Amino acid sequence: MDNPKKRLTRWRSALLALPLLGLIAGCGTANAASEPTVTIGYENAPDPEAVAIEQNFFQKYMHAHVVTKYFASGPAALTALASGSLDFMTTLGNPPTASAIARGVPLKVVWAMERYTTAEGLVVKNGSGINSLKGLEGKKVALVTGSTSPFELYTALKNAHIPIRSVSIDNMAPPNMVATWKTNSIQAAYVWVPFLSQMQQDGGHILVYDQNQERTAPIFNLAVVNSTFASKYPKLVDGFVRAEQAGVTFFQQHPKQAYQDMGKLNGITASQAKAQAQGLSFTTLSQQLSSNRLGQGSGIASSLVTKSLTSAAHWLYVTGEITSVPKNMAKYVDPSYCEAVLKSSNP
């Protein structure tokens, strides 16, 4: 089994560099004799989807032969989604999702899995003299380039009217951050749990959490579907939504078993899964249609998920990761499947 910390690093890595893709229509592999085959990709996260996978909810609610495939990188998953060899991809952050949209990957966001609250943030050394974001001027901040952390740090500095170039970036893997923190070689880092909590407990304090920037740079894990596949097989997308909701319901009703399931899929203990899950805000089916998630009707354009994709795209453009910002991110956010499932559940 992988080292859990390495797997968590892969989970949170956004890996934004995505080559221009030749697009081929997505399509589930139909088995005329029995059930269709559907492939669902995922990255590591201690969330209700891990429960849904372990409890076989996707097979149950999609009435299909479901293959779940672990991806260590966003580009590989999104390339597969674009080619049609992958029907769904989950656990995608908004920066890589926005990057994929800008580069023409045919996708629709159909489920907002979770929003980061205290699972990621900026930790600084006690006694370093860094007591506010202003104190970062002229200093170095360790983070993983290509992850969501640079996006969050950039936004925090911008909101505080601090010149971005006044802060130096030290690209470093999270386990190395913990090690160099102990030798006082770094005094600030923007990173996620468990590394964030380890440094906080080892003589540090938190200046900024992701939740402090909920309205300007919210970080979501999103589930997307190949848009061509979705138009051909809408009932399979409905089943996907039902399975995601079943995972959330099971988590709410059977938390002890749910944490064991999360731990098993992610290669960590149940107690570690529980601790890490505390920094995430999970979403029920009805909450998907709120302005704080996908939105509904004319509210999709101003929903928090649409805003998160738009803000991420602007950041990617400023940093040169993409050459243009998509004009209408709302058309890539599709709550219709959640609406259909919710309606059928409440006749």
Kindly state the percentage of the chain with pLDDT values over 70. Answer: 89
Check: CB of residue 195 under 8 Å from CB of residue 202. no
Per residue in 207-263, pLDDT tens? Answer: 999 999 998 899 999 999 999 999 999 999 999 999 999 999 999 999 999 999 999
Same domain, 97 and 128: no
Beta bridge pairs of residue 121: 191, 209
Same domain, 171 and 224: no
What's the Cα-to-Cα distance from 208 to each of 132, 161, 183, 216, 294, rounded to whole Å?
9, 15, 23, 13, 25
Q: What are 186's two structure tokens? A: 């770094």
CA dihedral 263, 268, 271, 277 (to 10 degrees): -70
Residue 109 sits in a domain of what CATH number?
Answer: 3.40.190.10
Residue 179, pLDDT > 70, answer: yes
Same domain, 223 and 334: yes
pLDDT (average), residues 73-94 = 89
pLDDT (average), residues 314-341 = 95
Residue 20, pLDDT > 50, answer: no
Same domain, 31 and 70: yes
Same domain, 205 and 226: no
Query: Dihedrals φ, ψ of 195, to 5°?
Result: -65, -40
The confidence score (pLDDT) of residue 286 equals 96
* Bridge-based pairing state of the strands 120-125 and 204-209: antiparallel
Same domain, 192 and 68: no
Per residue in 118-148, pLDDT tens? Answer: 999 999 999 999 999 999 999 999 998 878 8
Same domain, 227 and 299: yes
Query: What does the H/E/C string look like for 197-216?
Result: HHHHHCCEEEEEEHHHHCCC
Check: CB of residue 38 under 8 Å from CB of residue 30. no
DSSP class per residue in 215-232: TTS--EEEEEEEHHHHHH
pLDDT (average), residues 43-62 = 96
Strands annotated E in the chain? 37-42, 65-70, 88-93, 107-116, 120-125, 140-143, 168-171, 188-192, 204-209, 220-226, 280-282
CA distance linking residue 154 with residue 307, whole number of Å: 16
pLDDT (average), residues 290-316 = 96
Same domain, 133 and 222: no
What's the Cα-to-Cα distance from 335 to each of 128, 135, 241, 296, rounded to whole Å?
46, 42, 10, 7
**Could you list the residue range(s) of the whole structural domain that residue 30 is in?**
4-115+218-345
Q: Which residue has the tokens 């951050």?
A: 177
Q: Which residue has the tokens 């390495």?
A: 6
Check: CB of residue 60 under 8 Å from CB of residue 51. no
Check: CB of residue 240 under 8 Å from CB of residue 39. no
The confidence score (pLDDT) of residue 28 equals 55
Same domain, 318 and 258: yes
Number of domains in the chain: 2
> Domain end: 175, 193, 213, which one?
213
Same domain, 49 and 15: yes
C-beta contacts of 263-269 below 8 A and 24+ residues apart? 263/46, 264/50, 264/54, 265/44, 265/50, 265/53, 265/54, 266/4, 266/7, 266/8, 266/11, 266/44, 266/45, 266/46, 266/50, 267/1, 267/2, 267/4, 267/7, 267/44, 268/4, 268/7, 268/8, 268/46
> Domain end: 153, 178, 213, which one?
213
Same domain, 149 and 193: yes
The confidence score (pLDDT) of residue 29 equals 53
Query: Dihedrals φ, ψ of 187, to 5°?
Result: -120, -5
Q: Supply the DSSP symbol for 71.
A: -
CA distance linking residue 53 with residue 67, whole number of Å: 10
pLDDT band at 4 (very low <50, low <70, confident <90, very high): very low
Q: Which of 193, 59, 191, 211 is closest to 123 using CA atoms?
A: 191
Same domain, 20 and 95: yes
Q: Which residue has the tokens 């032969």?
A: 65
Residue 11, pLDDT > 50, answer: no
> Domain end: 155, 188, 213, which one?
213
